[in-house]
């Protein structure tokens, strides 16, 4: 277990100020709104889509979802890497949801120790997700879903090197409604084992575990803002063989149901605490990035 | 002759048993399923509140009496179904716990109703 070195720099203070402003704004807005204007929301994307809610969609629903995750900043140099998954999502019944789609990656890396300079993009494999409703929302308004996501990548997510990478992103996604149709709370548990074979030779396994919690407040009908907290631990080996580092990410989230068939879910998070095994500096910038962002659009058809 | 007769009788009994086995679950499910009906006219649900028994699968027949299509949708029921103008559709819902479940017309968001499960 590592001891966090909480950064007390400008980004952390900005986050605290943003959280305080959000709480004040939401409290004021809540008083001003007519409660009958607020209706039920599907919770899957209302937490910014680093943390997911338990909803598995509506039976018969089909949608296309460009889902982009970007990572920025390493210990030094210039680092930006992103991946967009073009998901086709379908809910065949009231308990199961399926997503499948190709991924595209892009890299802008310069003078980062341990990584080759790179400015490139390309098709980077395929990802699928199978979500099963485990606990139905009853009178307690608590619900939970199991999500299993097999992945294949031909480019390393961090460096852009040519690889054969297989992963299995597994999550428990739980949520509850604290105030009917207004305030939602989510918890996620995360485990992803990966195995990678490098084209230049050699192969290795790694695994990441984590937990998150997020709050989302429907501030206007169809618009929710919130805050998301993630704690992640990275290991060499598929079975937690050797601890390499951990990180705590915190940031704001936004969900906007733009139209009946279109929604946007976005989040930005900064690593505010962390530790890299064998390194005295704050944060784990070897296994994780300094900041990360998510942008998901859904077009239902 | 008697062997043929015995074989025919056995085959008939087997077919009867198989038919009974295939029909029984369907009949049982059908017997358990409750049914309710609702209409949409002038972009209003009629009635705006419908009732159904708890812990039984439910078939909701939605009659669209308007001249434009509607989409019956519910987040808590986890269903959606487009119903063309002047036609009807059936929405099958799993067995529900007691409570109030909102539904609406996704093409006309102000058209809303409630299913009360008791």
Cα dihedral A150, A85, A232, A227 sign = negative
Distance from CA of A1 to the nearest CA of B (A): 41
| Cβ proximity of A103 and A123 under 8 Å | yes
Confidence (pLDDT) at A25: 55
Of A60, A94, A139, the CB nearest to B81: A60
CATH of B33-117, picked from 2.60.120.380, 3.30.420.10, 2.60.40.420, 3.40.50.1100, is 2.60.40.420
B94 contacts in A (CB within 8 Å)?
Answer: 94
pLDDT tens, position by position, A161-180: 999 999 999 999 999 999 99
B26: confidence class by pLDDT, cuts 50, 70, 90: very low
B3: confidence class by pLDDT, cuts 50, 70, 90: very low
In chain B, the percentage of residues whose pLDDT exceeds 70 is 74
Q: Which helix (H) or strand (E) holds B87?
A: none
In chain A, the percentage of residues whose pLDDT exceeds 90 is 82
| Contact at CB, B97 and A138, closer than 8 angstroms | yes
Interface of B with A (CB under 8 A): 73-81, 93-94, 97-99, 102, 104, 106-107, 109, 112
Has the ipTM of the complex gone over 0.85?
no
Check if A139 contacts B (Cβ < 8 Å). yes
| Residue of higher predicted confidence among A84 and B21 | A84
pLDDT tens, position by position, B54-95: 999 999 999 999 999 999 999 999 999 999 999 999 999 999
| Cβ proximity of B57 and B36 under 8 Å | no
Domain boundaries in chain B?
1-32, 33-117
Q: What SS3 class is residue A207?
A: strand
pLDDT at position B40 over 80? yes
Residue A299 lies in a domain: no
Percentage helix, strand, coil for chain A under 3-state DSSP, each rounded to 5: 10, 60, 30
Of B80, B97, B98, the CB nearest to A58: B80
Those residues whose C-beta lies under 8 Å from the C-beta of residue A259, and which sit 6 or more positions away, are none
Which structural domain, as residue segments, surrounds residue A171?
10-294
**CATH code (residue A158):** 2.40.160.40
Residue A2 lies in a domain: no
The stretches in chain A having pLDDT less than 50 are 1-8, 23
Q: What SS3 class is residue B22?
A: helix
A259 contacts in B (CB within 8 Å)?
Answer: none
Residue A192 lies in a domain: yes
Q: What SS3 class is residue A68?
A: strand
Confidence (pLDDT) at A30: 52
Confidence (pLDDT) at A22: 54
Question: How many domains are there within chain A?
Answer: 1
């Amino acid at each position: 277990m590592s001891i966090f070195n909480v950064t007390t720099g400008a980004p952390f203070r900005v986050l605290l100020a943003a959280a305080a402003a959000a709480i004040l704004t939401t409290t004021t807005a809540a008083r001003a709104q007519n409660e009958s204007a607020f209706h039920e929301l599907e919770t899957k994307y209302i937490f910014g889509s680093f943390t997911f809610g338990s909803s598995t969609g509506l039976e018969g629903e089909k949608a296309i979802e460009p889902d982009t995750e970007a990572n920025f900043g390493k210990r030094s140099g210039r680092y930006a890497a992103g991946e967009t998954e073009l998901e086709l999502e379908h809910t065949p019944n009231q308990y199961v949801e399926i997503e499948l789609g190709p991924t595209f990656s892009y890299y802008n890396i310069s003078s980062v120790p341990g990584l080759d300079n790179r400015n490139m993009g390309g098709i980077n494999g395929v990802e699928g997700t199978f979500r099963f409703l485990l606990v139905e929302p009853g009178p307690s308004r608590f619900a939970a879903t199991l999500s299993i996501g097999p992945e294949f990548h031909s480019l390393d997510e961090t460096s852009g090197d040519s690889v054969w990478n297989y992963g299995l992103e597994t999550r428990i996604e739980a949520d509850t409604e604290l105030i009917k149709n207004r305030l939602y709370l989510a918890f996620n548990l995360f485990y992803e084992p990966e195995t990678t074979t490098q084209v230049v030779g050699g192969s290795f396994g790694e695994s990441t575990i984590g937990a998150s919690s997020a709050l989302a407040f429907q501030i206007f009908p169809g618009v929710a803002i919130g805050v998301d907290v993630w704690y992640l631990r990275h290991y060499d080996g598929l079975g937690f063989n050797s601890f390499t580092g951990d990180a705590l990410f915190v940031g704001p989230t936004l969900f906007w149901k733009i139209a009946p068939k279109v929604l946007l879910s976005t989040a930005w998070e900064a690593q505010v605490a962390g530790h890299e095994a064998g390194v005295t500096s704050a944060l784990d910038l070897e296994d994780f990035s300094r900041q990360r962002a998510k942008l998901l659009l859904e077009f239902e058809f | 002759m008697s062997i043929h007769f015995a074989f025919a009788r056995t085959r008939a009994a087997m077919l009867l048993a198989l038919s009974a086995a295939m029909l029984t679950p369907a009949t049982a499910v059908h017997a358990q399923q409750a049914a309710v009906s609702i209409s949409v006219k002038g972009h209003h649900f009629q009635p705006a509140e419908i009732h159904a028994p708890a812990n039984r699968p439910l078939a909701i027949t939605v009659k669209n009496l308007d001249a434009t299509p509607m989409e019956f949708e519910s987040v808590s029921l986890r269903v959606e179904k487009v119903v063309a103008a002047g036609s009807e559709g059936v929405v099958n819902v799993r067995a529900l716990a007691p409570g109030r479940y909102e539904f609406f017309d996704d093409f006309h968001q102000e058209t809303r109703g409630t299913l009360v499960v008791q």
